[in-house]
Amino acid sequence: MPRNKDIKKVLLIGSGPIVIGQAAEFDYAGTQALTTLKNEGLEVVLVNSNPATIMTDAEMADRVYLEPLSVDVLKKIIDIEKPDSILPTLGGQTGLNLAMELAETGYLEEKNVKLLGTNTLAIKKAEDREAFKETMEKLNEPIVEGTIVTEVHEALEFADRVGYPVIVRPAYTLGGTGGGIADTKEQLAEICEGGLKASRVHQCLIEKCICGWKEIEFEAMRDSAGNCITICNMENVDPVGVHTGDSIVVAPVQTLRDEETVMLHNASLKIIEELGIEGGCNVQFALHPYDMSYAVIEVNPRVSRSSALASKATGYPIARVSTLVAIGYTLDEIKNAVTGNTYASFEPSIDYIVCKFPRWPFDKFVSADRKLGTKMKATGEVMSISDSFESAMLKSMRSLELNVFSSEVNLFSGLSKEQLVDRLHVQDDQRIFCVFAALRAGVSVQEVYDITKIDTWFLNKFATIIKNEEKIKAEKLACLDKEYMLYVKKLGFADKAIAEWCGVSEKEIRKMRVDMGIVPVYNTVDTCAGEYKAYSDYYYSTYQTQSEVRKTDKKTVVVLGSGPIRIGQGVEFDYCSVHCVWALKKLGYDAVIINNNPETVSTDFDTSDRLYFEPLTNEEVLNILEVEKPEGVFVQFGGQTAIKLAKTVHENGYKIFGTTFEDINNAEDREEFDALLTQLDLARPKGKTVFTAEQALSAAEELGYPVLVRPSYVLGGQGMEICYNAEDITKYMSIINLNTQEHPILVDQYIMGKELEVDAICDGKNILIPGIMEHVERTGVHSGDSIAVYPATLDKDVVENIIETTRKLAFGTKTVGLINIQYILRGKDLYIIEVNPRSSRTVPYISKVTGIPMVQLAVRCSLGEDLASMGYGTGLHPASSYYAVKVPVFSNEKIPDLEISLSPEMKSTGEVLGLSKSYPEALLKGLLASGIRLKDGGIILISVADIHKQEIVETAQAFSDLGFELYATGGTAHVLNKNFIPTNVIGKLKDKGDNIETLFASEKVCLVINTPTRGHDSTRDGFKIRRMAIERGITCMTAPDTANALAKALKLKKKDKDLNLVCLGDIKND
Amino acid sequence: MKAFLMLQDGTRFYGEAFGDVKNTVGEVVFTTAMSGYQANLSEPSFCGQIAVLTYPIIGDGGFENYDLDPNRVSVKGVVVKELCESPINWKNRCDIDNFFKKFGIVGIKNIDTRALTIKLREDGVMNGMICLDEPTQEQIDSLNSYKIEKPVHHVTTKQVVKYQGKGGKKVAVLDFGVKQSIIDDLVARGHEVVVYPATTPASEILAGDPDGILLSNGPGDPKECLDIVENVKQLVGKKPIMGVCVGHNILALASGLDTYKLKVGHRGANQPVKNLATGRTYILSQNHGYAVCEPKDDSVASVYFRNVNDGTVAGLEYKNAKAFSTAFCPYVLPGPMDTQYLYDKFENMMEGK
């Protein structure tokens, strides 16, 4: 069936900010969908609140709305734009839920708007627990049996029927408190009784326990004619029990018998046929390790994280094909873009192994609970491709940028066999390394299997890695003849690791290897295992014989990507990398990208001219540079990941476009930088460089408390903290020293003031400042966690000073391209906190608001063009008549035990933007978009540190005036009441009778304002109050400035339906 | 043991031999199926061939089925990238090395199968030899002149085999290398099945008075079966006929249509085939190197199925005889891929509908 000609204008709903569980994969999916719809000649309207994405560029759709994602906003957009259809299945769970809610209101029918793709009934059947159960029963497809009980005997009866073991999950307790696995009647009675007590509603879900079964996923696709295919199957290395987003995943399945693969393949097709899916769909199974029984765990009737992975793993563009199916095409009418002459109605065949490894935030959240379970905790992931499992696994491990270059990590060295076996029982992010350590220590494959239920096929492969690692360690260079070197390179061993074991430098191993003629070749991801000629320039390295790289006559430039999404380095840097690629293509270069993140636009095979899906390590980057022989390399757009590679690029004789390696280094080097500031006569908080705790203490004494401590070479403020006293310093240094410190620790004076931020473009002769941003929170809060307002409201002389200082710094650091500077403004005095000669988190949002294509200009400057001739002027760009307020979004509820209070250490995972001509409305939009919605007349609980008690009065007054009921703990209540703000006193946690806990239980609390006294002490009341709020889904603000901003925004008394919506394209015309 | 695969054009791929290690000549073809090597290598489809498996790790599951007719396990050689050293499969009975030894198959591992596949894709399938030593001129001559001769005659059953029915029809199956699953399907549908050797005279088959005749799947060039084609000519029009795979080709030749050799062949688990009557596309496992030429007009037969990728004929419905054929075997597992309706169609013909 060709395209449905009734469809003329489509509204696409995005997935909103990046949070744990919903990351950049939906920028990739949405961008692909928008491009596809536009190529079909349709008019497209996009709504998404996330400004850091490619999809929200004004050029990506006919009309782009950066607005809060709510039903009322959608209704308004429908009124304004009058689309005839909505595409709901490409914006993650957020987009799907919104579309469903909207459909339920009857508004779509009223306005004659169709939902494209999978219909609402099918979505219900997949998403609604009961409907899903019924559907599966009808199909005779097994599901995990479960029941809700309120009495112990009900649980026992259920278990008798389905058999032990069973899982007890108490309802409404977070992190599974009170639950557990029961193998016997006695255990079940005990656990269930505890669980019922722990549950707020006195309910437990009892499920048949299938922990230890294999977890298998199928990505399937169906069109309106009923043609069904599966695109990719995947197997979790970690068995059922760990969320698939937290599991190491391989594609295709490795340990299934043919019969089992066929059985699940057919089950998935049967399911999507019955549901009547039109588009992509993901089916998750649990498969018993040895008796063919299985259960359908979940069906996602939409494009998902797994489908992004499957797309990148096979080359099959699931989002694009889903979109085409949604507008009426059948699979046999859609060309396979990879081969160019076959069709989308086939099942990709792959001739390599893909491995996905999650990236967790525990390197930053050191005190958070690292255990993995049914709730996802990873912020991002990496993927690797190779022709052996061992190599795919090792490649993915080194892509994580956790300084892992072999299967051995320091953490477990020195532990005894018994200790390791004990540790194997702990299912956390480090367990995979423990598995390696245990096997290395001689624990048998069978014993490791018995504890972990990781299939012995995988464990045997691990053992192969370990055996060869140990061989090299023992025999060193002597064993590395040509044949063995080739063998271990095929296994994926890193030069760096081999070098360490042999006691020589990485350079020496590389030279030895290259002299032996052992260099990688690049094979193509072609969807068809070589059966047809492919036109995709999508490569991965192997140590095989024949390279497939297709070069052209054009000059080549390599762009280094930003790797996995993690706290501090999010989708913004992918945005910058992609724009760099686009700019280069426009200038007539062949743009090559190296990256390893399967969620992103940059790793879509038709974004760049050539894509290398490889780890971003010295070795792998150099290998590619040797093949590509580029004119030069861009390192300024890929975040710290790319910057870290600058040295290798430079030392091997490749040109770095833009700011040179020496100048990048000088800006990052404390002493060089201090010297520059002195020379330029610019002020910064005084500071010292230290290595030991003693030095840190004396430095703090000298500078005066409070001081800011952090490691040099920072990423998102890693390990940064304000220390108020000697005790804080001692504690901080003891944590930092857990990890080896190659670089010194910086101790700085803490200056309280207003934080300002500037991104500028420099060609060496002129600068262009698109805009100045002002942070709502005062210094001490990481810039990534602050609400940022553009344009800043500042006195004229301050603005002049900022322009001049920025110019001095850009010239002083010899920046060519982008530079990001953070300032503190105290009175009229400007202090410099940080200068980064590279792209920053704020580049996408400022580019969108000002209409200045910052990355493109930076690229052109770096290639030698004159900034002044680019048509955007120099100096400070005139401020927009719109305010743009960037509000951070956190995933605090996903990480139990995390200290949530704002600090110099970044914690947010994403951001949203509020746009309006009025500042309070822009602020309100940003806050609403970030998910802050207070119930009218609800309770606000205030409990602030002594230093904030006076300050909070004004804010409290505002909330009180707005009709909220105020509760406060003793000291705070006293101050508020003394200021004539009616406030109820509430007891602390330990107090008998009415206390904070009972107040929470009333379910009327809609906001908690709690500023931390200090430290990360999880036993303190403040910490507990904050966690209680988060776990109940209550907004919790920990900085007085944020609370004050919220009060200011709420004074507008506007709801979603009252907001003035702004189309991004209209800003320029205003 | 070190070995290499030498193609007819002289190209060499170095690796290590395993299984029944010996010098072996065969036609080198590739298959892109990611799983299913056990079934593939246990059946006659690769008769006389050296199969290149593009999936990079082979042997993870060993072999579950060991008691097979050695005549039908007829692949000559197998080329793999990595041979799995520790097969894991709770039903595994025999690892690949021992299986190969038992059935006289030579394997060669550590080969860049992707480079080899691309070569075959570009230059077409050709002969090759797995060599343990430098080949003699005589061996090279045998490599160049190698032709798979009468593979169907080689793999077909030597005697008539009967399966009891249960109230169904009586189906004569001409065994060109028939998959057991096809027989099982027919029996499961209640039919009495009589499996005949491929060269059984038409008169003998008709003497058994079947309600319908199934021309089965099997290996190789249908033109190697011209004696069988002559035989089949005498069956066409007499009884309802369903042809699958090589049976599809033989029926076409017997009806005056022509067949030709595909440059690369259709081998893999992901071949899309479209039913032109319903518009539905099916993803099917296929393993063949020959196709029926496009009929000039509809006078003999009309095209029933087409391969979506290259547009080749994948099924025919005959005009003047109760007969139809497909270039693939009916997909028999439950689910939307189900092409069991082809059996329904056959049954309807037998019913006289």
Q: How far apart, in whole angstroms, are the C-alpha atoms of residue A616 and residue A451?
A: 34
Which residue among B57, B88, B112 sits closest to A456, beta carbon to beta carbon? B88
Q: How far apart, in whole angstroms, are the C-alpha atoms of residue B92 and residue B83?
A: 16
Strand residue runs (E) in A636-696: 687-690
Strand residue runs (E) in A750-872: 754-762, 767-775, 788-790, 817-826, 829-836
What's the rounded mean pLDDT across residues A850-861? 97
Q: What is the pLDDT of residue A428?
A: 95
| Among A585, A617, A647, residue at a domain's last position | A647
Whether A372 and A513 map to the same domain: the answer is: yes
Q: What is the pLDDT of residue A177?
A: 62
Tell me the one-letter amino acid at A567: I
| Among A87, A122, A157, residue at a domain's last position | A122
Cβ of A546 within 8 Å of Cβ of B114? The answer is yes
A126-149 pLDDT per residue, tens: 888 788 889 999 999 999 988 889
A187 domain-assigned: yes
Nearest to B212 by CA among B325, B28, B346: B346
A907 domain-assigned: no
| A48 in Cβ contact with A13 (< 8 Å) | yes
Q: Which domain holds residue A106?
A: 9-122
The shortest C-alpha distance from B36 to chain A (Å) reads 6
Cβ of B113 within 8 Å of Cβ of A351? The answer is yes
Q: What is the pLDDT of residue A1058?
A: 96
Whether A324 and A391 map to the same domain: the answer is: no
A774 domain-assigned: no
Question: Is the model's pTM score more than 0.90?
Answer: yes
pLDDT score of A1015 more than 70: no
Tell me the one-letter amino acid at A773: M
Rounded to 5°, the CA angle B280-B285-B289 comes to 110
Whether A86 and A162 map to the same domain: the answer is: no
- The lowest-confidence range among A259-268, B66-75, B76-85 is B66-75
Q: What is the pLDDT of residue A508?
A: 97
Whether A477 and A493 map to the same domain: the answer is: yes
| A455 in Cβ contact with A462 (< 8 Å) | no
Spatial strand order of the sheet with A1035-1037 comes to A984-985, A965-968, A939-943, A1005-1010, A1035-1037
What's the rounded mean pLDDT across residues A326-344? 87
The shortest C-alpha distance from B237 to chain A (Å) reads 34
Whether A254 and A340 map to the same domain: the answer is: yes
Q: What is the pLDDT of residue A1021?
A: 84
Q: Residue A642: what are its φ and ψ, rounded to 5°?
A: -75, -40
A887 domain-assigned: no
DSSP for A421-438 reads: HHHHT--BTTHHHHHHHH
User: A31 is written with which tokens?
Assistant: 């961008």
| A817 in Cβ contact with A656 (< 8 Å) | no
Cβ of B309 within 8 Å of Cβ of A346? The answer is yes
Spell out which residues of chain A touch residue B114, defining contact as CB-CB under 8 Å.
Answer: 351, 387, 523, 529-530, 544, 546
Which residue among A257, A460, A529 sits closest to B89, beta carbon to beta carbon? A257
> Which tops the pLDDT comparison, A748 or A64?
A64
| A382 in Cβ contact with A357 (< 8 Å) | yes
Whether A433 and A578 map to the same domain: the answer is: no
B195-244 pLDDT per residue, tens: 999 999 999 999 999 999 999 999 999 999 999 999 999 999 999 999 99
A885 domain-assigned: no
Q: How confident is the model at residue A738 (pLDDT cuts 50, 70, 90)?
A: low
Spell out which residues of chain A touch residue B308, defining contact as CB-CB under 8 Å.
Answer: 332, 342-343, 345-346
A1050 domain-assigned: no
Q: How far is CA B176 from CA A309, B310, B315, B329, in A?
A: 43, 26, 18, 13
Whether A986 and A942 map to the same domain: the answer is: yes
Q: How far apart, in whole angstroms, are the C-alpha atoms of residue A424 and residue A418?
A: 10
Q: What is the pLDDT of residue B132?
A: 96
Q: How confident is the model at residue A172 (pLDDT cuts 50, 70, 90)?
A: low
Q: How confident is the model at residue A716 (pLDDT cuts 50, 70, 90)?
A: very low
Which residue among A270, A352, A531 sits closest to B32, beta carbon to beta carbon? A531
Cβ of B334 within 8 Å of Cβ of A270? The answer is yes
Cβ of B268 within 8 Å of Cβ of A254? The answer is no
A-B C-beta contacts closer than 8 Å:
150
Q: What is the pLDDT of residue A129?
A: 78
Whether A387 and A336 map to the same domain: the answer is: no
Q: Residue B87: what are its φ and ψ, rounded to 5°?
A: -65, 135
CATH number at residue A703: 3.30.1490.20
Whether A368 and A343 map to the same domain: the answer is: no
B299-349 pLDDT per residue, tens: 999 999 999 989 999 999 999 899 999 999 886 554 456 788 899 999 999
CATH number at residue A316: 3.30.470.20
Q: What is the pLDDT of residue A475?
A: 97
pLDDT score of A715 more than 50: no
Residue A386: which residues within 8 A CB-CB, separation 6 or more? Answer: A352, A353, A355, A392, A395, A492, A540, A541, A542
| Residue A431 C-beta-side C-alpha neighbours within 13 Å | 27
Whether A430 and A395 map to the same domain: the answer is: yes
Whether A643 and A604 map to the same domain: the answer is: yes
User: B255 is written with which tokens?
Assistant: 């009806």
Question: Which domains, ranges and CATH numbers included, belong to chain B?
Answer: 2-147 (3.50.30.20), 152-351 (3.40.50.880)
Please report the sign of the dihedral spanned by the C-alpha atoms of residue A107, residue A110, residue A112, residue A118. positive
pLDDT score of A940 more than 70: yes
Q: What is the pLDDT of residue B331?
A: 67
pLDDT-above-90 percentage for chain A: 77
User: B112 is written with which tokens?
Assistant: 């860049």
Cβ of A345 within 8 Å of Cβ of B113? The answer is no
Which residue among B61, B113, B280 sits closest to A257, beta carbon to beta carbon? B61
A573-628 pLDDT per residue, tens: 999 999 999 999 999 999 999 999 999 999 999 999 999 999 999 999 999 999 99
Reading phi first (left if > 0) and then psi (alpha if -120 to 50, else beta), residue A780 is in: left
pLDDT score of A717 more than 50: no
Q: What is the pLDDT of residue A61?
A: 97
B248-282 pLDDT per residue, tens: 999 999 999 999 999 999 998 888 899 999 888 88
Distance of CA A1017 to the CA centre of its chain: 27
Q: What is the pLDDT of residue A1012?
A: 83
Nearest to A611 by CA among A374, A311, A904: A311
Using CB atoms within 10 A of its CB, is residue B134 exposed (0-12), middle (13-18) or buried (19+)?
exposed
Cβ of B32 within 8 Å of Cβ of A349? The answer is yes
Which residue among B35, B85, B118 sits closest to A261, beta carbon to beta carbon? B35
pLDDT score of A1019 more than 70: no
Q: How far apart, in whole angstroms, are the C-alpha atoms of residue A167 and residue A180?
A: 6
Overall domain count for chain A: 7
pLDDT-above-70 percentage for chain A: 97
> Which tops the pLDDT comparison, A928 or A197?
A928
A461 domain-assigned: yes
> Considering only alpha carbons, which residue of chain A is nearest residue B281?
A227
**Residue A935: how many other CB atoms lie within 10 Å:** 12
Buried b (16+ CB within 10 A) or exposed e, B29-38: bbbbbbbbbb
Cβ of B30 within 8 Å of Cβ of A531? The answer is yes
| Among A348, A373, A401, residue at a domain's last position | A348
**Length of chain A (residues):** 1070
Q: What is the overall mean pLDDT for chain A?
A: 93
| A240 in Cβ contact with A213 (< 8 Å) | yes
Residue A961: which residues within 8 A CB-CB, separation 6 or more? Answer: none
B140-156 pLDDT per residue, tens: 999 999 999 999 999 99
Q: What is the pLDDT of residue A401?
A: 95
CATH number at residue A547: 3.40.50.20
Q: How far apart, in whole angstroms, are the C-alpha atoms of residue A261 and residue A235?
A: 11
Whether A262 and A195 map to the same domain: the answer is: no
What's the rounded mean pLDDT across residues A828-854? 95
| A804 in Cβ contact with A680 (< 8 Å) | no
Q: What is the pLDDT of residue B334?
A: 46
Cβ of B57 within 8 Å of Cβ of A343? The answer is no
A258 domain-assigned: yes
